[in-house]
A and B are shown apart, each in its own frame.
Chain A
Amino acid sequence: MLLNVENLNVHYGRAQVLHGIYTHVQEGELVCMVGRNGAGKTTFLKTIGGFMRPSSGTITFRDQRIDGLPLENVALKGIKYVFQDKRVFRELTVRENIELAAFPVKERMDEAIGKVLSIHPGMEKHLDSKAKGLSGGERQILLIGRALIGNPQLLLIDEPTEGLAAKIIGQIVGILLQMKAKLSMIVVEQNLATVSRLADRIYVMKEGVILREIADRETIQKPSLYEEDL
């Protein structure tokens, strides 16, 4: 098992936001977390990524405890996070954004750029432009491409299609499907049509607990069967 989460409890101050979460991710699996706003999906991702410390419970990645590790150490273990807000380093060029990601994992620049271009060849013409000039969709693609640098084993992707045009959503979904064969992912997504195309397994979250786990392919492909749980 790649990732195993047991009895995870997380608090914001006195308020408990995750209550005894049990989840796991297998090698090469794409797991989607669905639920309404405030269900605790992003908090769950942030806790796995090392941004938040759990109050109790364990997170095991390749049989090693990672709960409580500083987030840079979590990243170096091969867990990369793609944030919801699509913020790239605006004042750096696209090339520098890629170089910044390649440096700590000691990846060669041509390989790193190759990874980004492999998911979106059109990025080549923007390499020497400041990242603040990219469209929302291009920023998202750059963030996903940048997360691939250093051969991560698990990607945590928060709302990858939020706020994007339908055409771009199709492109992002295509990229995620293309990546699916190569690494494991946990994707937080509210768009159930997208979830039904991507997911190998779904966790439905509500008010900080996992309400339901769906592993059956036929059920996953019919969002109407779990929409009412949200």
Chain B
Amino acid sequence: MFSKIEKNPFLTLAIIAGGFILFGYSTSLPKITDFMIFCIFVLGFDLLYGHMGQLSFGHMLYLGAGSYGTAIFAAFVTPDPFLGIAVGIFTAALLAFILGLIVVRTSGACFALLNLALNEVGAFMVLVPFPQWTGGEDGLSLFFKSYGFLNFANPTFLFFFVLGSLLAVSYLIMRFVRSPYGMFLKATKENEVRVRFLGYNTYIYKLITFVLSGSIAGFAGALNTINLSYTSPSLIDPTRNVEVIFAALMGGAGNVMGAIIGGTAFMTISNYLARYIIRWEMFLGVALLIFAFKFRKGIWGYLRKV
């Protein structure tokens, strides 16, 4: 039953939309808006990890680039939220392109650690050399313009805007992975050298994927800034990479439903469990062990078999 859902993109989108609307109205719209933004971030990360098979320990860099791109633009140029989002995505895409030129030449542990190192550099750049632009440790508090009902200060509008963004990103990724390009990604994940023997310049395709993945992370960062009217160094903190890795593993890497289930499960645990268990991270650690040994394909991977 669950594998049939995955084969129909519009049914998948309907389930995602229905699930979040139900969840949002039965709990809290601002909280579920946070969840959906995190899911967009997981989708971007999963394009790289689940679809292309490259684990990055530094994807927070692109979330942070998107967030700070939007924030600096709003603080110093104009507080237009739509232009701010565009600038945030562009900042992350440009950074992913420049760094990707080097990073995608590597793979495996080298790829993961090089990304982590670059994330560390990015976090340092935000904290130390340019505090007049980034706000240093304090971050930046912002104000965004509204245009009639297009008012990001209105939680309902923001909720549906982020939901629309999540659905758009999900649809884009589903189209992407079902195209010849998606076949290429799957094949590269299995054996890159064999793909090159077919005549593909895998470097170019990997760079495109890296930029797309970074741009989606940047989009999530931009939405986060608009959602909170604030950005801070925690959005580029390299130690938080574990969150997105954990979410992708828990949901099941390599498909949209897995990323969204993983993102939602992680946010649910970190938001609700923290009320009852002070060191809730311990629960995550135990959960990770269970997933690593019992459910290697994550929650969605398990459900697909049902």
Taking CB atoms and an 8 Å cut-off, the chain B residues in 181-203 that contact chain A are 183-184, 186-187, 189-191, 193-202
Say whether A76 contacts B190, CB under 8 Å: no
Say which residue of B187, B196, B199, B202 sits within 8 Å of A89 (CB atoms). B187
Cβ contacts A55-73/B at 8 Å (1 or 0 each): 0000000000000001110
Cβ contacts B197-217/A at 8 Å (1 or 0 each): 111111000000000000000
Q: Which of chain B's residues have a CB closer than 8 A to the CB of A100?
A: 180, 183-184, 187, 195, 198
Say whether B194 contacts A89, CB under 8 Å: yes
Interface residues on chain A, number (Cβ under 8 Å): 24
Cβ contacts A23-36/B at 8 Å (1 or 0 each): 00000000000000
Q: Which of chain B's residues have a CB closer than 8 A to the CB of A101?
A: 198
Say whether B190 contacts A150, CB under 8 Å: no
**Chain B min CB distance to A131 (Å):** 10
**B contact patch SS:** helix
Q: Is A154 an interface residue (CB 8 A)?
A: no
**Chain B min CB distance to A208 (Å):** 23
Q: How far is the CA of A180 from the CA of B183 in the complex (A)?
A: 31
Q: How far is the CA of A90 from the CA of B189 in the complex (A)?
A: 11
**Chain A min CB distance to B63 (Å):** 29
**Chain A min CB distance to B252 (Å):** 15
Contacts A99-B183, A100-B184, A103-B180; A72 near B201 (Cβ below 8 A):
yes
Q: Is A142 an interface residue (CB 8 A)?
A: no
Q: Which of chain A's residues have a CB closer than 8 A to the CB of B183?
A: 92, 96, 99-100
Q: Is A51 an interface residue (CB 8 A)?
A: yes
**Chain A min CB distance to B200 (Å):** 5
Q: How far is the CA of A116 from the CA of B200 in the complex (A)?
A: 20
**Chain A residue nearest in CB terms to B198:** A101
Q: How far is the CA of A184 from the CA of B186 in the complex (A)?
A: 31
Say whether B186 contacts A72, CB under 8 Å: no
Q: How far is the CA of A100 from the CA of B195 in the complex (A)?
A: 8
**Chain A min CB distance to B147 (Å):** 44
**Chain A min CB distance to B193 (Å):** 7
**Chain A residue nearest in CB terms to B195:** A100
**Chain B min CB distance to A81 (Å):** 5
**Chain A min CB distance to B260 (Å):** 21
Cβ contacts A187-215/B at 8 Å (1 or 0 each): 00000000000000000000000000000
Q: Give the one of B194, B195, B201 with max A CB within 10 A.
A: B194
Q: Give the one of B187, B191, B195, B202 with max A CB within 10 A.
A: B187
Say which residue of A87, A96, A104 sits within 8 Å of B199 (CB atoms). A104
7 A-B pairs closest in CB distance: A104-B199, A75-B199, A76-B199, A89-B187, A72-B196, A96-B183, A71-B196
Using CB atoms and an 8 Å cutoff, list the residues of chain B in contact with chain A: 180, 183-184, 186-187, 189-191, 193-202
25 contacts between A and B (CB under 8 A): A51-B197, A71-B196, A72-B198, A72-B199, A72-B201, A75-B196, A87-B191, A87-B194, A89-B186, A89-B187, A90-B190, A91-B186, A92-B183, A92-B186, A92-B187, A96-B183, A100-B184, A100-B187, A100-B195, A101-B198, A103-B180, A103-B184, A104-B198, A105-B199, A150-B199
Other contacts beyond A72-B199, A87-B194, A100-B187: 9, CB < 8 A: A51-B197, A71-B193, A75-B199, A83-B194, A87-B191, A91-B190, A96-B183, A99-B183, A100-B183
